Amino acid sequence: MTRAVCPGSFDPVTHGHLDIIQRTTRLADQVIVAVGDNMAKNGLFTPQERVAMLEAACAEWDNVSVTLFKGLLVDFCTANDVGLISKGVRAADFAYEVQMAQMNRRLTGVDTILLPTDPQWAFVSSSLVREVATLGGDVSGFLPPAVAEQAAARVSAQLVED
Ligand code: PNS
């Protein structure tokens, strides 16, 4: 049985992420979406909120589960019997993604597949979505509807706080 992990920050999960997760469901028997608990202070959503949003967004795929992880990704893979890391890659990220894949393979032997981002999402990143949303732009085209609603609500709440 092949078990793969799709790791990321997912702040917030985008259609680009979901495309990679769905494509990974065809390459592995089980897929674990692992949300890095990196404690970024400028995050839009807490790690727990990201997990809940991903669980809802991935509910239609029976072989996908979602969890938090802390520490090294390779240690998560070893502890959870994961044999494959699956990540989306945009042209601009390619060099860094290859570097991380090589480091992870060197650390424990776990291999990575880099799936080219679908061209329709090639310009979408969580960080750009956060920036556009925070400055009042419409990001609903890049996010699952429930996530877009929560992002709009969070941005409004932050504006009231400030
Ligand atoms: O969505 P992101 O921010 O590109 O996700 C990055 C993530 C969480 C996959 C990456 O930072 C990671 O693997 N973090 C865990 C710490 C780790 O293993 N670092 C060494 C990487 S070679």
76 burial level (CB within 10 Å; 0-12, 13-18, 19+): buried
| Alpha carbon distance 110, 93 (integer Å) | 20
pLDDT of residue 148: 96
Q: Is ligand 1 within 6 A of the CB of residue 8?
A: yes
Ligand 1 atom 13 nearest Cα: 73
Residue 143 — left, alpha, or beta (φ > 0 → left; ψ -120 to 50 → alpha)? beta
C-alpha of residue 32 to centroid of ligand 1, in Å: 15
Query: In terms of DSSP H, where are the helices of 26-93?
Result: 47-57, 73-79
Answer whether residue 48 shows pLDDT above 70: yes
Q: Is the CB of 14 under 6 A from ligand 1?
A: no
Q: Which of 38-47, 91-100, 134-143, 151-160 has the lowest mean pLDDT?
A: 38-47
- Which residue type sits at 77? C
pTM: 0.96
The DSSP symbol for 10 reads: -
Residue 91 has pLDDT above 80, yes or no: yes
Per-residue model confidence as pLDDT tens digits over 61-71 = 999 999 999 99
- Find out whether the beta carbon of 147 lies less than 6 Å from any atom of ligand 1: no
Residue 146 confidence (pLDDT) above 70:
yes
Q: How confident is the model at residue 159 (pLDDT cuts 50, 70, 90)?
A: confident
Nearest CA to ligand 1 atom 1: 8
Q: What is the pLDDT of residue 156?
A: 85
Is the distance from CB of 22 to CB of 61 less than 8 angstroms?
yes
Q: pLDDT tens for residues 127-136?
A: 999 999 999 9
- Ordered strands of the 84-89 beta sheet: 64-69, 30-36, 3-8, 84-89, 111-116
pLDDT tens sequence across 93-122: 999 999 999 999 999 999 999 999 999 999
Q: Tens digits of per-residue pLDDT, 15-28? A: 999 999 999 999 99
